[in-house]
């Protein structure tokens, strides 16, 4: 059974706040996140589960993605562990996803989201998407959509095919 994995970096945030954890989205970030949601809806994606860093800017990114896509905001699981996760820890969190989940959306921070997207890619996917991701990096509101042919518990490097990559511009 094929699964879908959507890896997204939070949208553009304000430059300053009392702490990094409470940085809010900038106006541009809200519009970029809604545009990302619309693109995901156009791809026919609808998540069964959503894993989001518990930082303010990632929670707000999810709210605006859900708004743009017409998805239920209550699907999100806000994770303190994802906020601080490196790539190995992020893979561990994804492996905990229930086997019944067909589409998982993950919203976090760089460099972890970029590294996760690069590592999970098997190199057999859409050539233009792969080139775009590798040459443009993983800027704010970037979204990578993968097909996963294994159960979540077996997810690791080289286990997913990149189907689409979008930059966050509204």
Tell me how far apart the alpha carbons of residues 45 and 41 are, in angstroms, rounded to a whole number. 5
Average pLDDT over residues 29-45: 96
What are the start-end ranges of the H helices in the chain? 27-42, 56-69, 80-84, 87-95, 112-120, 127-136
Report the pLDDT value the prediction gives residue 27, as an integer from 0 to 100: 95
Q: Which of 81, 76, 46 is nearest to 61 (CA)?
A: 76
Torsion of CA 164, 30, 72, 107, to 10 degrees: 50
Question: Which domains are present in the chain?
Answer: 3-166 (3.40.50.1240)
pLDDT tens by residue, 99-123? 999 999 999 999 999 999 999 999 9
The CB density around residue 87, as the number of other CB atoms within 10 Å, is 18
Report the pLDDT value the prediction gives residue 138, as an integer from 0 to 100: 87
pLDDT classification of 126: cutoffs 50, 70, 90: confident
Tell me how far apart the alpha carbons of residues 91 and 80 are, in angstroms, rounded to a whole number. 15
Residue with the larger pLDDT of the pair 1 and 160 = 160
Report the pLDDT value the prediction gives residue 170, as an integer from 0 to 100: 47
pLDDT tens by residue, 130-166? 777 777 778 999 999 999 999 999 999 999 999 999 8
CA 99 to chain centre: 19
Look at the block and give the residue holding tokens 């690791």: 156
Tell me how far apart the alpha carbons of residues 29 and 38 are, in angstroms, rounded to a whole number. 14
């Amino acid at each position: 059974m094929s699964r879908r994995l959507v890896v997204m970096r939070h949208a553009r945030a304000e430059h300053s706040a009392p702490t990094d954890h409470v940085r809010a989205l900038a106006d541009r970030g809200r519009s970029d996140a809604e545009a990302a949601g619309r693109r995901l809806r156009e791809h026919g994606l609808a998540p069964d589960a959503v894993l989001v860093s518990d930082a303010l800017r990632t929670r707000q990114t999810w709210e605006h993605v859900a708004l743009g896509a017409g998805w239920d905001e209550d699907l999100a699981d806000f994770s303190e562990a994802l906020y601080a996760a490196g790539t190995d820890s992020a893979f561990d969190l994804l492996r905990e996803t229930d086997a019944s989940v067909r589409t998982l959306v993950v919203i976090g921070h760089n460099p972890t989201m970029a590294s996760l997207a690069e590592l999970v890619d098997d190199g057999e996917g859409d050539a233009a998407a792969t080139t775009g991701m590798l040459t443009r990096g993983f800027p704010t509101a970037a979204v990578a959509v993968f097909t996963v042919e294994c159960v979540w518990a077996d997810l690791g490097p080289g286990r997913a095919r990149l189907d689409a990559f979008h930059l966050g511009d509204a």
